[in-house]
Structure 1
């Protein structure tokens, strides 16, 4: 048997040179000082966790909003020598930052996010009202409307997510919520502007929503108990 002095292969035929590298063959197997190199693969990079992504996004948002606030303050001070219009922009940017930050940390709790975002918006409206002419419309007009919207949204969320209402009841509840919202806004605005509590345009909206509301209630509590609706609509 012959062995290649360079690559170490064993050659069984009668040859003088290695068929692979052309080196001289020898009768004894060669001894190498080091082993053949092994391919080293880089370690797999693990993807970022949601906690890390959220932290990066929050830091980026904070930097962007802080830069905007600083820019507004510098421009206002440079142009006017005092802070006047910049306070509106600063408060709006601060509230926008807080709402987006809440969205990053409360995305899985929609009602908690909704109520906290509404609190931030209410704070914004009150401050804007104070900056303009003192507390006037923010408490008597904006705050009641916001509370009404939040109450109706919370009720609908409970109906859909907790009570798992029938589809007909769910749609009927949405129509009822729209009617209640219209009545509430009508009363709040008229009371603030005219001191009257008589429904005007909200009554027209409620009357127009009445027929589909009653039809959906009929489907839910009468028709669905006597007719197999899924079977009928899948024919």
Structure 2
């Protein structure tokens, strides 16, 4: 049924003009009705605008890095007629610029970010150690620490995604990863200083992980549910 737009009485769909007032009723097709009900698609211009701003900032920083590296090489050569201290400074600046590439969001994958940061760290540490004329601490100390940190980070993220860990459990797993990482670093530092005792190291690791595990169990099973919900809402867990 349709309605006359002038007098408002019900008329048949194909009844034109109005039988009461004689007003000409325009014929509305079904396609026109469907088209009139469509809403325009909402577009959010903010992400594109933010990306353009970040691109400009990154290009400006890249130009500053290039100028700084060139100046340090030039000053170093003019003063010493060789590249001495500028090698350390420029390598550090280049690695910092590479880390900014990840910080500006050009790489979205968590796994690629971890691997990329690890590679940059290894290049920096390898260069700093090799500038002394040899690899004294890179292989026994820096390399296993960086690789171990990367493996722990990748394992943590994979475990969180595979088990769909949420809320307080994310924090618990994070602290366990930090404890394991700390003990891993401590092991290689002690080993580099020839003070490693494997049994003592295992006992110390267990003593640090055990209290954290007990706290996680208490948080999961000991705290009332309504208190956990309040804390989760407070800290957006």
Aligned structure 1 segments of 4 or more residues deviating by more than 6 angstroms:
none
Find the aligned partners of 1:133 and 1:217 in 2 and give their Cα distance. 51
Q: Which residue of 2 aligns with 1:164?
A: 164
| Deviations, residues 173-210 of structure 1 (Å, cap 9, x unaligned) | 22322332233122212222206343657844642442
Find the aligned partners of 2:142 and 2:212 in 1 and give their Cα distance. 30
- Name which of 218, 223, 230 aligns with 2:226: 230
Find the aligned partners of 2:51 and 2:181 in 1 and give their Cα distance. 38
8 Å contact kept, 1:182–1:202: no
TM-score (norm 1): 0.66
Find the aligned partners of 1:200 and 1:182 in 2 and give their Cα distance. 15
8 Å contact kept, 2:126–2:138: yes
Equivalent pairs, count: 185
Q: 1:60 to 1:202 in 2, by over 3 A?
A: farther
- How far off its partner does 1:169 sit? 3.1
- How far off its partner does 1:233 sit? 6.2
8 Å contact kept, 1:172–1:217: no
Find the aligned partners of 1:57 and 1:183 in 2 and give their Cα distance. 39
Question: Cα RMSD over matched residues?
Answer: 3.0
SS of residue matched to 1:75: helix
- How far off its partner does 1:124 sit? 0.7
TM-score (norm 2): 0.66
SS of residue matched to 2:164: coil
Q: 1:50 to 1:209 in 2, by over 3 A?
A: same
- Gap regions ≥5 residues in structure 2: 1-44, 231-237
| Aligned positions of 1:64-103 closer than 5 A | 64-103=64-103
Q: Which residue of 2 aligns with 1:7?
A: none
